[in-house]
Chain A
Amino acid sequence: MARTTSDAPAAETAPSLGAEHDVELFRRMLLIRRFEETVQSLFQKGEVHGTTHLYVGEEAGAVGVADVLGPDDRVAGTYRGHGHALALGVDPQALLDEMLGRATGVCGGRAGSMNVIDLEHRLIGCFGIIGGSASAATGAALAQRRVGGVAVAFFGEGTTNHGYFHECLNFAAVAKLPVVFVCENNLYGEFTPYEDVTAGDIAGRVASYGVPTETIDGNDVWVVRAAAEAAVARARAGEGPQFIQSMTYRHVGHSRSDPGAYRKPGELDAWKERDPLLVARARLQELHGLTPERLDAVDAEVTAQLDAAAVAGLAAPYPDPAEGLGREFKD
C-alpha cells in the first residue's frame, strides 16, 4: 500500500475476495446507482421534496469501506449520504420512504434526504452541515473504543478547509481515538474546483498532524476496500486516527438545481469511462469470467427491486399531523 503526501492516487491492484463476494460488491454499488436514479426521477415528478444530493459515480467509496466494518463500528456521513446508508445495510424501502416524507421512512419522515439516522445499521447520522460527520465520528470513536469499535467519517474535499476538520484531526490524534477519516474528493465543492480554494494539498495537511494518510483511486471498490481494511485495523489496534483520500467524481451536479456547467470540457466523459460500475464489470469479467449477460441480470434484479420500491413508497402513508408533530424531550 503506497502512502503519499500528494493528491495523486497510487496505481495498484487489490486482491480478489472470491467471485461471490466480488459480485456482491458489484450488486451493492448497482443498488446505490439505481436508488439514486429512482430518487432523481421521483424528485423530477415532485414526489421528493426540498433538494437531494446524489452519489452517482462515487459508489465504490461507500461500498468499499462499509464492507470491512463490524457490529461495533459506527459511521457518520454527509448530506450526500444515501450511498453510505445503503452500503451499511439500511433498508432501501425505508430509505426511499424517508425521501418521500412517509411515516414508514427511516426517521418517520422527520429527517428527509440530508439527515438520515439509522442506529440499528450503525449509521449515527448524515449531517446537513459540512464538518458534522467529522465531529460526530470523533465522538463515536470516544465511546466505541471501550468495546474495540472504530468510527468512520465520510466527507468531501471541501471539508478539509473547515474548522471542524482541523479540530477533529488534532483532537483525535492527541487522544489517539480510533476514527478513520475518509475524504471523498470529487474535485468540486458545490460549483468550485477544489484547487481554487485549497492552499497546499490535502494529504500533506493531514500528514502534518502525524496521521497516517493515503490517497487512492476511489472508483475501484477493491482498492477502496483494501485501503479501508488496513486503516480500520490500525485504528482498532490503538494507533490513533487514520486518513484516506479517495479520488472520485460525481456524474450529476452538486444538487438537483445544478446542471454542472462549471466542469471542464471533456472531464465528465473521461470520468465516466472510469465509472465504478464499469470498472467492476471489467474486473468481474476478467478475473472470474462472468458474462455481460450474467451481470445484466444482476442489474435487472436491482432495477426491478427499486421500481417496486418506488411504487410501494408512493403508496405509503404520510405521517398524520393530527397525531401530533412529535416530542421535544425524552422523559
Chain B
Amino acid sequence: MAELNNSDIKIVTKDVNLFYGDNHALKDVTLDILSNKITAFIGPSGCGKSTYLKTLNRMNDIVPNVKISGKVLLDGEDIYENGVNVTYLRKKIGMVFQKPNPFPMSIYDNVAYGPRVHGIKSKARLDEIVENSLKGAAIWEETKDRLKQNALGLSGGQQQRLCIARAIAVEPEVILMDEPTSALDPISTLKIEELMSQLKEKYTVAIVTHNMQQAARISDYTAFFLVGEMIEYGETQQIFSRPKNKKTEEYITGRFG
C-alpha cells in the first residue's frame, strides 16, 4: 500500500473478535479505514461483513448476548472504552440500511429527525439543514415541493436516497452503508452509486456489498471477508486484478459464493 500519514486513517480496527453467544462471528479482524475514501467489504453470505460494519458504530450493542473484544479507534480514540457517549458516536458515524426505512412521517420530519434529536430547535436552521442534506443526497429537486408529504409515498430508490439525506443531516464524518442498493432496481442503484462517488469528498464511506461488480466500480479499497476472518485488504484495483490470497482469487472468479 502507498505511504500513509496518520491523518489519512479515519478508523483503526485491531484484533477485533465478536461472539453472538457461542458463535464466533468475527475473528481477529485488523484493518484501517482511510479518510475520504470508499472502502468496500465483500464476501459470501454470513461471512461477517455486516457484523463488522456494525461494530464500527456500536450498533451491535442493541443485539443481546454480544461480546466484543479488540480495539476500534475513531481518530485515535477507542469507541468501546468506558464512558464513551454512544449517541454522540452515532452522530459522527452514520448508517444507511439495506432495506430503506424512512420513518412514517413527512419527508421534512425524516431528515430533521437527526438534528432535532441532537438539540437543534430553530426552524430556520432546520430548514437549512434539510435543504442541504436533500441536495447532498441528490434528491432535492424531486422532493422540494412535497416536503410535508409522507415519506412512505416515495419509490424505493427515492426512499433510500432519503435515508442517505437523513444520515447526512446530522453532519457525520463517516457514513456506513449496509448493502444499500440490494433491495433496489438497477436505475436507482446507478443513481446511488453516482451519489456515493460524490459523498466521499466530504465523508469517509464504508460499504458492505454482495455485488462484486459494484465494489469494483465504486470503491477505492476493498476487504474480502470469509467465515468471520478478514482474508485480504488492499486497493480495489489490486484486489480485483492481482489478488494475493488464493481464496480471494477463488471468490472473485466466482468459484464459490
A binds B: no
Instruction: Name A's B-contacting residues (CB within 8 A).
Output: none
